[in-house]
């Protein structure tokens, strides 16, 4: 059974989320304090974390940042804050998704299912016997999730890794933002394709010597992105 940690200070909301998740076959734990939620996220094994932004003691942005220092577990941030800057900040810190309150519990469950399925397919993919792919000094290992460039290990989030793997597996192929969003996030009818732009920017900051003049992830203006070889 997949286990989910809900870090949410409004207990009634957290309990509603838990009830819907449990009715769909998941085990869900609730923490209403940010510092305790962070400790559990770092010390215990969870398959996905639902993280509220506004929390006592420590906010969701800082929790997400500290989780991403050591783990690539899927993180779904939720918030009543509707400003784009907050969404961009959350995704930039490594969140895999960002939902704005109010939202329906059924949409939350749909997104949880999509992220878990995507992560499971990525980590469990054994179809290609070539575990490591290398392009111009960039090496990506599908089994260990290690990414090495210029002999340095890069720490990527789950979605950053998924996005980079897709591009590396199809060198020189141009993907539209819509294609990348559907294939990496698996949410064709819900969500914001601006998420793709944020993750491409974060990838460039990590793998490019000069993100403003990328040598790996190329923008094809008016179309999308490709990985150059």
122-147 pLDDT, tens digit each: 665 444 446 788 888 899 988 888 89
Q: Across residues 82-110, what is the average pLDDT?
A: 87
In the chain, where the domains are located: 3-123, 126-227
- Give the pLDDT band (50/70/90) at residue 188: low
39, 35, 18, 69: which is closest to 3 by C-alpha? 18
Rounded to whole angstroms, what are the CA distances from 162 to 51, 74, 107?
A: 21, 11, 22
Calculate what percentage of the chain has a pLDDT beyond 90.
54
| CA atoms within 13 A of residue 14's CA, in its CB half-sphere | 20
Q: Domain 3-123 is classified in which CATH homologous superfamily?
A: Response regulator (3.40.50.2300)
For the chain, give the mean pLDDT. Answer: 88
d(CA 141, CA 143): 6
Q: Across residues 19-38, what is the average pLDDT?
A: 94
d(CA 188, CA 122): 18
Structure confidence at residue 135 (pLDDT): 86
Q: Across residues 40-45, what is the average pLDDT?
A: 92
Give just the sign of the alpha carbon dihedral 229, 188, 110, 66.
Answer: positive
pLDDT at 229 over 90: no
Pick the CATH number of 126-227 from 3.40.640.10, 1.10.10.10, 3.30.1330.40, 1.10.3720.10: 1.10.10.10
**Global pTM?**
0.62
| Residue-by-residue DSSP string for 169-195 | HSTT--EEHHHHIIIII--SSSS-THH
């Amino acid at each position: 059974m997949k286990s989910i940690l809900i870090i949410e200070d409004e207990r009634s909301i957290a309990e509603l989320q838990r009830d819907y998740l449990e009715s769909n076959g998941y085990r869900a734990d609730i923490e209403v304090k940010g510092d305790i939620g962070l400790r559990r996220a770092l010390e215990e094994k969870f398959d996905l974390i639902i993280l509220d932004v506004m929390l006592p003691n420590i906010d969701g942005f800082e929790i997400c940042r500290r989780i991403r220092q050591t783990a690539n577990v899927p993180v779904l941030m939720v918030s009543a804050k509707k400003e784009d800057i907050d969404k961009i900040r959350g995704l930039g810190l490594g969140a895999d998704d960002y939902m704005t309150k109010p939202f329906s519990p059924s949409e939350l469950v749909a997104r949880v299912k999509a992220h878990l399925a995507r992560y499971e397919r990525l980590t469990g993919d054994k179809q290609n016997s070539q575990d490591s792919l290398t392009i111009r000094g960039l090496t990506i290992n599908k089994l260990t999730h290690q990414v090495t460039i210029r002999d340095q290990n890069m720490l990527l989030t789950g979605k950053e890794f998924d996005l980079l793997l897709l591009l590396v597996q199809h060198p020189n192929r141009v993907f539209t933002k819509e294609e990348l969003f559907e294939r990496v996030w698996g949410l064709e009818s819900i969500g914001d394709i601006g998420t793709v732009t944020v993750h491409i920017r974060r990838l460039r900051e990590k793998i490019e010597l000069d993100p403003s003049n990328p040598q790996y992830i190329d923008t094809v203006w008016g179309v999308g992105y490709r990985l150059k070889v």
